[in-house]
Amino acid sequence: MEKIITRNLAGLTLCARYAFMPNKLKYCGPSNERTLFDYAASGLVDEGLVEMLEKFETMYPYLKLIAKANKIKDPFDKRVVEAYWLGNSLLNKVEMNSLYLSLLDDHHLKKRLNTKIFNELIFKIPIGAKPHHAFHVLNIFIRTGKDKIKHTLSTMQSCIITVGRVKGVSNTDELTVEADSLDFQEGKIIVTYRERKVRYNFFNQKLIDDIQIGDFVSLHWDFTCDKLNLNQTNKLRAWNQYHLNLANLTI
């Protein structure tokens, strides 16, 4: 236990919340979604959780990159986790060359993507790309987890972390939310708002207690990961729009 005591426990739990749904869908990480959900729901942390999260081949290199750029020893520090999934000022410390080398050496994107797509991607680094989850989803049109197929507008919308405002809470496992959504308009991807049903309960457990109408929540693959305060909501929307603007340069 000596190693784990030095870690930011809240960051590990938060990371598990966001990593759960793509893991359940078999897109990323080891095949053990029930254990990962139990970690996220209980808040208990041990080296087993660390080992699971380190096997997410897209997420973990970005966490290491952000941590190193900010001289933070633990890639699962809560500030680092929030920078990647939601967005914060830590992203601004990542230098262009460091992001390029990570895409090349850690993500192996030059081998995974054709030359045209790779060149379009690295073109966005000097004009402002940051190691945020939305950058990867919206600007790399071929998924880089286990399911290496092209993204559609629907899968991009599901894969990025979006904001939902709670409009109704059911007695079962669903929330009704007004959710940030993606749409095409005049050849560009834009953000619109749609009402939809999302899950907030798996295995008879909830990650969030006391959800109220009017609350802002974060969504990943139509699952409710966390409750957001207004500052987190604004940052997530801003960073999503920032990288959506970059994506539209090649649409």
Residue 197 DSSP one-character state: E
Q: Is residue 62 part of a domain?
A: yes
Threshold 0.85, pTM exceeds: yes
Taking the C-alpha atoms of residue 191 and residue 127, their distance in angstroms, rounded to an integer, is: 22
- Taking every pair of C-alpha atoms in the chain, what is the biggest distance, in angstroms? 56
Rg value, the chain, Cα: 17
Where a domain ends, among 100, 115, 139? 139
Whether residue 130 sits in one domain with residue 25: yes
Q: Is residue 146 part of a domain?
A: no
Whether residue 129 sits in one domain with residue 10: yes
What does each of the 251 residues of the chain score in pLDDT, given as a tens digit? 344 445 678 999 999 999 999 999 999 999 889 999 999 999 999 999 999 999 999 999 999 999 999 999 999 999 999 999 999 999 999 999 999 999 999 999 998 888 888 898 999 999 999 999 999 999 986 654 445 556 688 999 999 999 999 999 987 789 999 999 999 998 899 999 999 999 998 988 889 888 999 999 999 999 999 999 999 999 999 999 999 999 998 64
Whether residue 128 sits in one domain with residue 15: yes
Q: Is residue 112 part of a domain?
A: yes
Whether residue 212 sits in one domain with residue 133: no
Domain that residue 89 falls in: 2-139
Q: What is the CATH number of the domain that holds 199?
A: 2.30.30.140
Which residue intervals of the chain are DSSP H helices?
A: 2-5, 9-24, 33-42, 47-53, 59-69, 78-85, 96-101, 109-112, 115-123, 133-139, 153-159, 230-247
Please state the domain count of the chain: 2
